[in-house]
A and B are shown apart, each in its own frame.
Chain A
Amino acid sequence: MNLKMYARANGTFGVRNRIAVIPTVACANHVAEQIAAAVETADAYCHPYGCDQLGKDLDLSFNCLKLMGTHPNNGAVLVLGLGCEEILPHDLYEAIKAEQPMTELLVMQEYGGSTRSIERGIEICRQFEKELALQERVDADISNLTIGLECGGSDFSSGIASNPSLGEFTAHLCAAGGKAVFGETTELMGAEEILRNHASSQEVFDFINSRIKAVEQVALDMHVDLRGTQPSPGNIEGGLSTIEEKSLGGVMKIGREKIVDAIPFGAKATRPGVTYVDTPGNDLACSLGLACAGAQIIIFTTGRGTPMGFASSPVYKVTANAFIAGIMAENFDLDLSDIIEGDMTIRQGGEKLWEDILRVAEGKETAAERLGHREFSLYRVSPILT
């Protein structure tokens, strides 16, 4: 099955043709924002970090920014550095440029202060925009499509309607040869038996299980009851009493598919089918992990309602909660509340999702994109120590 996507130099295909303005450090955030604000197809990948990081934490941040620069949805990149930070601007520029020829570098301490840097950055991005406008979509096999499966602001409706519909979607995607990625390790706590049945090998299950245990250990080491954080106060108010209940509803999103691979945060999915990525439950961190794994689109089910998008990838919002589908209608792409309130079946929900996602892949804007939600942050694996 073919879809019309943008071809990239590194052999990947994108569903969008955007310009990434990537600040290496928090000090360059404001300049990055001002540059991106002036150019319609540019997104600023702002984050509070880039300095006072070391070891694995520093490596992960560098790697994630590199993966954002080389993400298939980006057709051009401006790396924006300050000049004295640990995420070395020249190194990041070289790493991205090796795969994405349309990459430029601007280092404020070499070029000039805020105003000059903003002006020059806008000039660079406007030139990028002209060149990108000449590019056209080409036929690409669906095996080049990776879809992120995510849930956030979950409530009772997530586990009985929207996630099972997502599971049906995943079946369509895998049957066609596409890839799906999911994570939210904390929200697999309690679903181990289901994961064991779905894992394609003992190795896959053992990796996932070890990550779940590691997250559980965090709560144990802190001597706090996880409940109230996971599930959150909103989840609890929405009917989810325990993390086990939340997880069992969440895992519905992979449907009956086998989990063919299990990878750490910052790694890419390579096999067709469903891959587990070790991301936290935190929505923004999860989106980053799934996008780094290659997700060109993220399908996001929510019961309580969240408007969040993501810088590199269109986020497609689904709910089966009739109340929130009304109150926050502008933030949703698909309302599946008829599964609970009416006669819609989960199979029908999955089909609607499948048809619409193919349209999104070929250019249909999601609500989050239309509203300008392009959130971003890095995922830290150690606290600020230095």
Chain B
Amino acid sequence: MKRAMILSDTDNVATLLDDICEGETAVLIDAEKAEIGRIRVLNDIRRGHKTAIRAIRAGEQIVKYGQVIGGASRDIVTGELVHTHNLESLRGRGDRA
């Protein structure tokens, strides 16, 4: 069973606790490990990395732990890997200063 953990109700990403391959289904669990849903992933995702649990528009906030962890740098679809290629930080952006 491949698991992906959602840490808070308002999160729009889940963190994979197991390596998963494109096309496989992960069981979504909450912080107490209760099963709350399922999701089919669209990429190979390594353990520890994130998948979107709903569609996220470019510019929209990405939420984990119930807090903003950054912004989507492009449109993201449900089940897609979320990492540095489509999630940008909103802090320490000296490259924009």
| Min distance, Cβ B19 to any Cβ of chain A, angstroms | 11
Proximity string of chain A (330-366) to chain B, C-beta cutoff 8 Å, 1 when within and 0 when not: 0000000000110000000000000000000000000
Task: Report the separation of the CA atoms of residues A248 and B63 in the bound assembly, to the nearest whole angstrom.
Answer: 11
A193 to B63 Cα, complex, angstroms: 14
Q: A225-B92, A248-B69 are in contact. Are A236 and B64 (CB under 8 A)?
A: no
A156 contacts across to B, CB distance below 8 A: 15, 47-49
Interface of A is mostly: helix
- Please report which residues of chain B, range 1-45, place their CB below 8 angstroms from some CB of chain A when the two chains form the complex: 5, 7, 15, 17, 31
Determine chain B's interface SS by DSSP, over half rule.
loop
Q: When the two chains form the complex, which single residue of B68, B82, B83, B88 contacts A190, counting CB atoms closer than 8 Å?
A: B68
Quote the shortest CB–CB distance from A129 to chain B (angstroms): 46
Q: How far is the CA of A229 from the CA of B46 in the complex (A)?
A: 22
Q: What's the A-B contact tally at a CB cutoff of 8 Å? A: 96
Tell yes or no: A222 within 8 A of B by CB: yes
Measured in the bound complex, the distance between the Cα atoms of B93 and A221 in whole Å is 10
Residues of A within 8 Å of B94, CB to CB, are 219-226
A227–B92 CB distance below 8 A: yes
Count of A interface residues, CB-CB < 8 Å: 33
How far apart are B30's CB and chain A's nearest CB, in angstroms? 11
Min CB gap A203→B, angstroms? 23
Task: Decide yes or no whether A177 CB sits under 8 A from chain B.
Answer: no
Counting CB contacts under 8 A, is A189 at the interface? yes
Chain B residues near A248: list those with CB within 8 A: 64-65, 67, 69
A226, B67: Cβ atoms closer than 8 Å: no
Residues in A with CB closer than 8 Å to B47 are 156, 239
Size band of the interface chain B makes with A: 20 to 34
Which residues of chain A (180-199) have a CB below 8 Å from chain B?
Answer: 189-191, 193-194
Asked whether A216 is an interface residue with its Cβ less than 8 Å from the other chain, the reply is yes
Q: Do B49 and A224 touch across chains, with their CB atoms under 8 A apart? A: no
Contacts of B88 in A (CB 8 A): 242
**Known contacts A160-B7, A227-B84; A244 and B91 CB within 8 A of each other:** yes
Give the chain B neighbours of A173 by CB distance below 8 A: none
Given known A156-B15, A223-B95, A248-B64, contact A243–B84 (CB-CB < 8 A)? no
Q: Is the CB of B70 within 8 A of A245?
A: yes
Contact call B5/A160, Cβ cutoff below 8 A: yes
Residues from chain A with Cβ under 8 Å of B64 in the complex: 245, 248
Q: Which residues of B contact A239 (CB under 8 A)?
A: 15, 46-50, 83
Which residue of chain B has the shortest Cβ distance to A231 in the bound complex?
B89
20 intermolecular pairs with C-beta atoms under 8 Å apart: A156-B49, A160-B5, A189-B91, A190-B67, A220-B94, A221-B97, A225-B94, A225-B95, A226-B91, A227-B84, A227-B92, A242-B87, A242-B90, A242-B91, A243-B89, A244-B70, A244-B89, A244-B90, A245-B64, A248-B67
List residues of chain B with CB under 8 Å of any chain A CB. 5, 7, 15, 17, 31, 46-50, 64-65, 67-70, 82-84, 87-95, 97
Given pairs A241-B83, A242-B87, 12 additional interface contacts (CB within 8 A): A219-B93, A220-B97, A222-B94, A225-B94, A226-B94, A227-B84, A239-B49, A241-B82, A242-B69, A242-B91, A243-B91, A249-B65
7 closest A-B pairs by beta carbon, nearest first, are: A226-B92, A239-B48, A156-B48, A242-B89, A225-B95, A245-B69, A219-B94
